[in-house]
Amino acid sequence: MKSRASDSGCYQLIIKLPFDRRIRIGALGMISFKAGYYIYTGRAKKNLEKRVQRHLRGDKKKHWHIDYLL
């Protein structure tokens, strides 16, 4: 029996904000973010590659809080 590589695991997105921003984050309302680097750590129980690709797309329904920052 052949084993297949698991498509699950943890991932990190490194996000650079070149300037201060105020962003509406769903029900949390307006949140201020200082310019700089932010690191988002996530986990996918399955479809890891698709999850990361989704985060990087511009045209997506905002589902997770990080979607508002990307």
Domains in the chain: boundaries: 9-69
| pLDDT surpasses 70 at 2 | no
Residue-wise pLDDT tens digits, 18-62 = 999 999 988 889 999 999 999 999 999 999 999 899 888 888 888
Q: List the one residue out of 20, 23, 24 whose CA is nearest residue 35.
A: 20
Q: CB-based contacts of 9: which residues, under 8 Å, 6+ apart?
A: 43, 44, 48
Under 8 Å between Cβ of 26 and 63? no
- Which of 2-6, 11-15, 66-70 has the least mean pLDDT? 2-6
Under 8 Å between Cβ of 60 and 67? yes
Report the pLDDT value the prediction gives residue 1, as an integer from 0 to 100: 47
